[in-house]
Amino acid sequence: MNEKDLVYPRERTLGAITLVLGLLVWLGLIIGTFGGALLVLVLGFVMYLFAQSALIAHIKGNGVELSEAQFPDLYAQFIECCDRLQMKTRPQAFILNGNGGLNAFATKFLGTQYVVLLSDVVDAMDKHADGVRFYIGHELGHLRMKHLSFGHLIRWPVLWLPLIGAAYSRARESTCDRHGLACSGSRENAAQALVVLSAGGERWQRINIASCLDQAKHTSGFWMSFHELIAGYPWLTKRIARVMDTQAPLPRRNGFAYLFAVLVPYTGRLGSVFGFLILIYIVGVLAALAIPAYQDYKVRAEANVATILSQSVRDELGSYYLSNQKVPESLDMLGISSQQIDGSELSLDSDDMELTVSTKRGQIIFTPLINDEGRIIWNCTNGEGLKPTHLPRSCRDTDD
């Protein structure tokens, strides 16, 4: 395979999108937190060092390193696969007790790369030597494509985004399947290696590949489309179909599934259930912020309406005082109703002409002052039930 054949087309597009978005998010975080995000980044790196060092220590302390003296047959396949993929730097390869798990993984620590094959998948492939090459090639693909490099850290803040994060993860897995295919002797051998993940270490030998490919037709249903859209791996039936034919036409996903999947954050290996929990958490946080904000908005809106409606009353009170040099005894004396059309109530203090506007939410108190030009201006403050922030902007501007 050439370089173009080794990379799933959508990976480059999704990789570029997530890289740009990640850079923008990091830039915003650093600027918005006045550099505080850099401190979080440093602390996160320290935590990563401790966690990753524990993993590497476990691998080196409990695993078996492949070499010419240790499992030379597997080591020869590993070297051959590295050469096929033109790996300039050969990672260290280990076998680790899988405790029943059929898998393999790649990792990296302080510049050193590792490929780990779990013992169960190696045993399952004992009668299918070419199958081990598929798993080796798949994991080498992660290292060769720099899926564990600094770029992943840059993309990290946006990988949880619905649809995008999961799609990028699936594209990477499809790319690595192509690397596994490049290390396999044939497409059929690569497909058989993948079948092990479904049928197990014994039954895979009696699997009908054509029947597996036929199962891919079920992936167009709503629920299968939805759960694939929020998952980091394509359905195994699709993976098998793609190694058998990289240009294989696969069933289109259900369109309605996208409308629901866009609501679920991608959580990687934590699974879709955790994604729903994050969604519920996000909705809860937004509600906790939005509901009080909406309530404040309603209070401010009512206070603003009451203030506007009472303007004519204040004008009339001011005119009366300037003409008669005394405070009216009551609003009735001026023919002013004590209730405004919005339901707010007016009350007048006949001693200092202080006007109180009482809404359902609280009170706004208007106090008259005579300026240097002999005109009456009204200073408004919050009374019982209202906060200063609930007052109309004209009141707050006057206070400033």
pTM of the entire predicted model: 0.68
301 and 185 together in one domain: no
311 and 192 together in one domain: no
**Domain end marker among 164, 180, 197:** 197
Query: Could you tell me the maximum CA-CA distance found in the chain, to the nearest angstrom?
Result: 112
Is 339 part of a structural domain of the chain? yes
Counting other chains too, the contacts that 154-159 makes at CB distance below 8 Å and 24 or more residues apart are 154/19, 154/22, 154/23, 154/26, 155/15, 155/18, 155/19, 155/21, 155/22, 156/22, 157/22, 157/25, 157/26, 157/29, 158/18, 158/21, 158/22, 158/25, 159/18, 159/22, 159/266, 159/268
**Domain end marker among 152, 180, 197:** 197
**Domain end marker among 197, 216, 245:** 197
49 and 193 together in one domain: yes
pLDDT per residue, tens digit, the chain (400 aa), is 677 789 999 999 999 999 999 899 888 878 877 777 777 778 878 888 888 899 999 999 999 999 999 999 999 999 999 999 999 889 999 999 988 778 899 999 988 999 999 998 888 888 787 889 999 999 999 999 999 888 888 888 888 888 999 999 999 999 999 999 999 988 999 999 999 888 888 888 888 888 888 888 889 999 999 999 998 999 999 999 999 998 888 899 999 999 988 888 887 755 445 545 555 655 666 676 677 778 888 888 888 888 888 888 888 888 888 888 888 888 888 888 888 888 888 888 888 888 888 888 888 888 888 887 878 888 888 888 888 888 887 776 554 4
186 and 306 together in one domain: no
Is 173 part of a structural domain of the chain? yes
69 and 188 together in one domain: yes
Is 238 part of a structural domain of the chain? no
156 and 305 together in one domain: no
Radius of gyration from C-alpha coordinates of the chain = 35
For the chain, give the number of residues.
400
Domain of residue 375 covers 297-399
Is 29 part of a structural domain of the chain? yes
CATH number at residue 369: 3.30.700
Is 264 part of a structural domain of the chain? no
36 and 168 together in one domain: yes
Q: Can you tell me the distance from the alpha carbon of 166 to that of 228, in angstroms, rounded to the nearest whole number?
A: 9
Is 266 part of a structural domain of the chain? no
Is 73 part of a structural domain of the chain? yes
Is 243 part of a structural domain of the chain? no
31 and 159 together in one domain: yes
301 and 164 together in one domain: no
182 and 315 together in one domain: no
Tokens of 79: 């070297």
Give 163's contacts (C-beta < 8 A, 6+ positions apart): 229, 258, 261, 262, 266
319 and 188 together in one domain: no
Total number of domains constituting the chain: 2
